[in-house]
Amino acid sequence: MVKLPRHIAIIMDGNGRWAKKHGKTRLGGHDAGMKAMKGVIKECGRLGIEHLTVYAFSTENWKRSKSEVAGIFGLIVKYMRSELAELMENNVVCDVLGDYTSLPKDAVNALDKLKADTGNNTGLRFHIALNYGSRADMLAAAKRLALAAFEAEGADAAEQKARIEEWTPEDFARGLATGGIPDPDLIIRTSGEQRLSNFLLWEAAYSELVFSDTLWPDFTPEEFHRALDEYARRSRRFGGR
């Protein structure tokens, strides 16, 4: 049995280029991307992977046209509804990383329902990074920690300062959207781009990075296995020797 990651994170990139190549609208590309995502979720469940995180919409993706942004949220609502039965069947637990409360109301409702309905499942934990940006997330974590120190009951300025001095990397990590989730062992990015684009910057400290030239809608379970094989060949040292 090859060495499998506990946590796989994917930057699903290339939907727009795929659409262009196939003479479709950008939204058609995102729709095709959803189908590729379904395949990977299923494969993760089959392999017994513990955590899968997908980058679905970044805090910077709001820069896109209103119609593309609305279309992406529309697709999310559509797939949350159509895939619920299969996610339940596969025992998948779904949650969201990022502040999705500012999304359109039907998307918020669909995500709340998905989280509630799958909350008691015990299989693959599927994390959807939606309106997620690592810098915003780290800043929010820092603010929460600082506020907790200042609001600690009965603490005077010296005690507050002493508490702040005691913060550890683990304390900070607990305050992130990924708090309680192990760091990703493997991060895959498709479409030939080789950057993190504000995804899991803290958590990626020791992740293995695998880049694929394949555009996300063409990313098949076979291609996924190639990334896993590549991961299995890597030697992870975490700074040790």
Which amino acid makes up residue 192? Answer: G
Which of 11/49 has CB closer to ligand IPE?
Answer: 11
The stretches of the chain forming alpha helices (DSSP H) are: 15-21, 26-47, 66-89, 105-118, 134-151, 157-165, 169-174, 221-233
Q: Is 59 exposed, middle or buried (0-12, 13-18, 19+ CB in 10 A)?
A: middle
> Closer to Mg ion at the Cβ: 55 or 100?
55
Q: Label residue 117 exposed, middle or buried (CB < 10 Å: 0-12, 13-18, 19+).
A: middle
Question: Does the footprint of ligand IPE cover residue 57 (CB under 6 A)?
Answer: yes
By CB under 5 A, tell whether 13 contacts Mg ion.
yes
Contacts of 137 (CB under 8 A, 6+ apart): 97, 98, 176, 177
Q: Of 15, 31, 61, 120, which one is the catalytic site residue?
A: 61
Give min distance, CB of 17 to Mg ion, in A. Answer: 8
- The Cα 196–Cα 20 span in angstroms is 23
User: Binding residues for Mg ion, how many (CB under 5 A)?
Assistant: 1
Q: Does the annotation count 61 as an active-site position? A: yes
Among 5, 8, 9, 11, binds ligand IPE (CB under 6 A): 11
Among 5, 7, 8, 15, binds ligand IPE (CB under 6 A): 15
Stretch that binds ligand IPE, among 54-62, 156-164, 205-213, 231-239 (CB under 6 A): 54-62
> Quick one: what does residue 174 bind among ligand IPE, Mg ion, none, with the CB cut-off 5 to 8 Å set by partner type?
none
Token pair of 84 as six digits: 């619920």
Who's near 52: CB < 8 A, 6+ residues apart? 7, 8, 9, 10, 40, 41, 44, 124, 125, 126, 127
Is 197 near ligand IPE (CB under 6 A)? yes
Options 12-20, 54-62, 107-115, 139-147: segment touching Mg ion (CB under 5 A)? 12-20
Residue 218 catalytic?
Answer: no
What are the phi and psi torsion angles at 202 (to 5°)?
-70, -45
Per-residue tokens: 223: 């291609």
In the complex, the smallest distance separating the C-beta of residue 79 from Mg ion, rounded to whole angstroms, is 19
Binding site for ligand IPE (CB under 6 A): 11-17, 55-58, 61, 72, 191, 193, 195, 197
The catalytic residues are: 13, 61
Binding site for Mg ion (CB under 5 A): 13
